[in-house]
Structure 1
Amino acid sequence: MDINLEMINLIKGEFDIHVLIELPQTMLHANIFDLNANLNEYDSLTSFWPVAGKWQLEYLEEYFSGCESVHFVIYKPGSKLDLIKTTYKVLKFINKHKFDYLQFDDFSARQAFLLPFLKLNKRLILSIHDPIPHGGEFEWKRSVIKKMFYGKAKAFITYSSFSKDLLRKTLGLDKQVVNLNLLPYTVFRKFLTHHTVEQERGYISFVGRLSQYKGIDLFIEALPTILKEFPDQKFMIAGRPAFGYAVDSSKLANMASSVSVMERHLSNQEIVDVISKSKLIVCPYLEATQSGVVMTAYALGCPVLVTNTGGLAESVLDNYTGMVAKAISSDAIAAKILDFLKLNLYQDMHAHITGDQLVSKLSSSNLETLSQIYI
């Protein structure tokens, strides 16, 4: 939802937008949402506005205000009959409104049930975040579903030039692919408190899902070099482990007083708290298409350090809004962090990130690009 809130907010003044938010039981405590709701108590197609207060989602109202409609598509737990009923209601909703285009943000097995019954007529648009799976995250079921959707799409949206080029290699020449700029995920500002705004930015942190391709071990291996010159520097690693990955605690044994580890799911408030107490967010990824972590950090005024892999560096203006390591190695990461600390770069980068000019330019470019497919 983080990326789509920005896109909805951008285009709702230019186009008539209806929003459907897929909500199964497994996604009650996920990115953006942290709901304590019994889905069995709600209709398969539940309007956002009546439940916004009850579900404490008022912070999303400004993004959805001005849309033609906003509904949660509720998939109730453990019932195949309810899955059929929900699919039917969504189909009925779509057919009733006769939308010019149907844009799916990624895809799921639940959405695949819709495909055989939709009259697409070259109106299906797919937003693709990762054209190929990240290392250690391949799922064969998802691969099968992807083929179903790709064959029916009229156009595709990516979020980095790298992703666009990668997707192009797997598609036919008749498929349209456009690339949009990621925008800062401003929704995370809703979780700022007086405490988080006022606290000292003392940490250099990794935040986000802990997975094999994220290069966390490179970050850890860089720390002794940094601590030799800045022995009082504090570091943090925070996020939920995924696909069997775990932080190697043996590598941290001699740095326990310098490194804090939060190896679990983080609430929105905790994500904001970690970034707000950090002067630099490190993304030492081994591979990447793009990164929502970078956009979350930017929304909270924090510069980033990234490796030059995939499309990761496309969102970073080197030595302006962040830094790009020269190599995907612990030595390169350590060298950049040392430069950051020695030159005391936080304040200048923070000022560049929080300026309005960059976001305004990216937003205008996105609207121009979307006009190519919404025709």
Structure 2
Amino acid sequence: MKKVIIISPAYPLRGGISESTELLYLEYIKKEFDCQIISYNLQYPRFLFPGKKQTIFDPKKKNFNIIPLLNSINPISWYRTSKYINFQKPDYVIFRFWNPFFSICLGFLAFFLNDIKKVGWVDNVFPHKKIPFQKNLIKFFLKKMDAFMVMSESVKNDLNKFKINAPIHKSLHPLYNNFGVKLNKKLARRKLKVDPNYNYILFFGFVRKYKGLDLLIDAMSNKLIDERKIKLIIAGEFYENEKYYKQKIFDLNLSKSVIIFDHYIDNNEVSKYFCASDIIVQPYLSATQSGITMIALHFNRPVLATNVGGLSDYIKNNQNGYLVEPNSKKIVDSLLNFFDNKKSKVFEENIKLMKKQYSWSNLVNSFESIFK
């Protein structure tokens, strides 16, 4: 039986990195691999974490083979983890990388491994918010890997900027299929306690500056949006100044048009937000790929996204959503096109046809192909 170790945040740590790592782990188990996740007992020091808490409780995950050995700022834990991995003798180790803050921890851990193949599973090469010495930190990690797996052309291009010798493989980000089944729209709206007589667009996930929420709020102030009875649902924890956005909503007289759920959305609550909405909007100013896109496609919801980074790998303009320039007028034009031309059914059918390519089985097969 082949043995694979994934080094990544995982339960009880929260967020898209953890969720997707656990789904990859489950696919390895399904394919009868001996697989385990080595996670962090300390991911971020409290003063560096912008959210309210770093963990969640989910009893369904208690039997996952997750071992929290790593402390991102404690070198002793890096060495102890390497000894554990060397003893396990896996066929290869997958290092999840998304922020150069972890470069020293992961780089030294990789350095301590004895003749074990190492794959960097890279979500982002560059962080959304710059940190000191980030290029040096990124290089330090990249040099320790034997190969890389990316999920967008954008990340592949960023890796190539470092002129690394290791091969880069690409496999599309799979769907998040762990948030339950699709709900009837009327039922989802009833669960959310929103007026069923309006159209709804959804901004979902952590609110950060690069996600361009202010562009979407500006778009909502267009009178043509109001005439079509469109409301905006914002669902997620604010990692930026919440008062700024709420003041902007107030100043534009949008208090009745914008509904805010300003907290982390638990897994068992996710489906009602997506299923209550007609279209998901990602007005990002920068991006690589997005887990939010993959949740939307899982629930057969079209996505209006800005044409930045790797989002175009997943959104095909006027097929399963819209790709627009990052400005409020283009967002308004696409929303009008969507609602005026009743595109929902056509987009949903297209999404159903596209979904097979976004599978966890494909991603496992891609990892397996690296060292064949």
TM-score relative to the length of structure 1 = 0.77
Q: Are 1:289 and 1:311, in contact at CA under 8 Å, matched by a contact in 2? A: yes
Given the superposition, is the C-alpha separation of residues 230 and 281 from structure 1 closer, same or farther in structure 2, using an over 3 Å criterion? same
Structure 2 equivalent of residue 125 of structure 1? 119
TM-aligned CA deviation for residue 348 of structure 1:
2.9
Q: Are 2:70 and 2:78, in contact at CA under 8 Å, matched by a contact in 1? A: no
Given the superposition, is the C-alpha separation of residues 24 and 164 from structure 1 closer, same or farther in structure 2, using an over 3 Å criterion? same
What do residues 294-348 of structure 1 show as CA deviations (whole Å, max 9, x unaligned)?
A: 01112223211101111112111322322222x2211100000011111122233
State the SS of the aligned residue for 1:187.
Answer: coil
The reply to whether residue 21 of structure 1 matches residue 39 of structure 2 is yes
For residues 92 and 367 of structure 1, the distance between their equivalents in structure 2, rounded to whole angstroms, comes to 26
For residues 91 and 19 of structure 2, the distance between their equivalents in structure 1, rounded to whole angstroms, comes to 24
Structure 2 equivalent of residue 72 of structure 1? 67
State the SS of the aligned residue for 1:114.
Answer: helix
For residues 335-374 of structure 1, the aligned pairs below 5 Å read 335-353=333-351, 355=352, 357-363=353-359, 366=363, 369-374=366-371
Q: Are 1:191 and 1:268, in contact at CA under 8 Å, matched by a contact in 2? A: no
TM-aligned CA deviation for residue 271 of structure 1:
3.6
Across the two proteins, how many residue pairs are aligned to each other? Answer: 336
For residues 243 and 118 of structure 1, the distance between their equivalents in structure 2, rounded to whole angstroms, comes to 39
State the SS of the aligned residue for 1:203.
Answer: strand
Q: Percent identity?
A: 25
For residues 331 and 321 of structure 2, the distance between their equivalents in structure 1, rounded to whole angstroms, comes to 13
What do residues 216-275 of structure 1 show as CA deviations (whole Å, max 9, x unaligned)?
A: 111111112254563522112222222557643333121111111233433334443322
**Aligned AA for 1:7?**
L
Deviates more, 1:95-104 or 1:266-275: 266-275
| Structure 2, unpaired ranges of 5+ | 1-17
For residues 133-282 of structure 1, the aligned pairs below 5 Å read 133-134=127-128, 137-140=129-132, 144-172=136-164, 174-189=165-180, 196=188, 202-225=199-222, 227-228=224-225, 230-242=227-239, 247-253=244-250, 254-282=253-281
Given the superposition, is the C-alpha separation of residues 312 and 22 from structure 1 closer, same or farther in structure 2, using an over 3 Å criterion? same
Given the superposition, is the C-alpha separation of residues 315 and 115 from structure 1 closer, same or farther in structure 2, using an over 3 Å criterion? same
For residues 43 and 296 of structure 2, the distance between their equivalents in structure 1, rounded to whole angstroms, comes to 28
**Aligned AA for 2:126?**
I
Q: Are 1:226 and 1:337, in contact at CA under 8 Å, matched by a contact in 2? A: no
The reply to whether residue 34 of structure 1 matches residue 28 of structure 2 is no
For residues 97 and 341 of structure 1, the distance between their equivalents in structure 2, rounded to whole angstroms, comes to 55
TM-score relative to the length of structure 2 = 0.77
State the SS of the aligned residue for 1:349.
Answer: helix
Given the superposition, is the C-alpha separation of residues 95 and 75 from structure 1 closer, same or farther in structure 2, using an over 3 Å criterion? closer
Structure 1 equivalent of residue 327 of structure 2? 329
TM-aligned CA deviation for residue 146 of structure 1:
2.8
For residues 76 and 165 of structure 1, the distance between their equivalents in structure 2, rounded to whole angstroms, comes to 30
Q: Are 1:91 and 1:118, in contact at CA under 8 Å, matched by a contact in 2? A: yes
**Aligned AA for 2:147?**
A
TM-aligned CA deviation for residue 374 of structure 1:
3.2
Two-structure CA RMSD over aligned residues (Å):
3.4
**Aligned AA for 2:177?**
T
State the SS of the aligned residue for 2:180.
Answer: helix
What do residues 27-73 of structure 1 show as CA deviations (whole Å, max 9, x unaligned)?
A: 99878x613xxxxxxxxxxxxxxxxxxxx432686xx6xxxxx2221
| Structure 1, unpaired ranges of 5+ | 36-55, 65-69
Given the superposition, is the C-alpha separation of residues 10 and 317 from structure 1 closer, same or farther in structure 2, using an over 3 Å criterion? farther
The reply to whether residue 106 of structure 1 matches residue 103 of structure 2 is no
Deviates more, 1:105-114 or 1:160-169: 105-114
